[in-house]
Amino acid sequence: LLKPEVYQTDPRGMAETRVQASQLLCKIFLHYLVLLSEWDGVLDLWTKILEIMERLMSTPQNEMLAEAVPESLKNILLVMSNGGHIVPPSEAQTEQQKLLWAETSTRLERYLPGLMAELFPEAEKQQEPPERPTTNGHSEPEAVAMSDAPDAAATKAHPPAPEPQAA
């Protein structure tokens, strides 16, 4: 379905066929997710599914796929998350969960940037570096905010210009 010569056989119907194929792929994966999670090859299979979805997304001028693929992936990711198969980074993550998370994040960021952050905002908060105290005793964001504030001495020396009044 992804080969150009196949597309040429029915350009009008191929978009719908590709949407249906992507949805079927996702449904089958979810149907067997519990069994697959016990299989050593689940990461390779999941990676292949993400590659196929990326190729479908890169199909030029196809609005149906541009809508269907992200929705299908959102659904899969939410089901995988609810089942504990893919979870945001934490101390309690298994090695399999770490690999699934890392591979999924890396691949999706290439063609659906921000999707993981949208679905898992708590993961973004966990990955932010902690605030470090600076030499003046303030945390880094405070120090930046204070350095951006106008200097009191400079404000007295150069008061702001008065606003023009309406005529």
The answer to whether the Cα torsion of 107, 112, 117, 118 is positive or negative is: negative
Q: Quick: pLDDT tens for 6-40.
A: 767 777 788 888 899 999 999 999 999 999 999 99
* Every domain of the chain and the residues it spans: 4-127
CA gap 30, 27 in Å, rounded: 5
Q: Which residue has the tokens 């905010």?
A: 145
3 state DSSP class of 133: strand
Instruction: Please give the pLDDT value at position 157.
Output: 46
19 and 71 Cβ atoms separated by less than 8 Å: no
3 state DSSP class of 86: coil
Q: Quick: pLDDT tens for 83-120.
A: 999 999 888 889 999 999 999 999 999 999 999 999 99
Encoded amino acid at 9, one letter: T
Q: What is the pTM of this model?
A: 0.69
| Residue, of 111 and 163, whose pLDDT is higher | 111
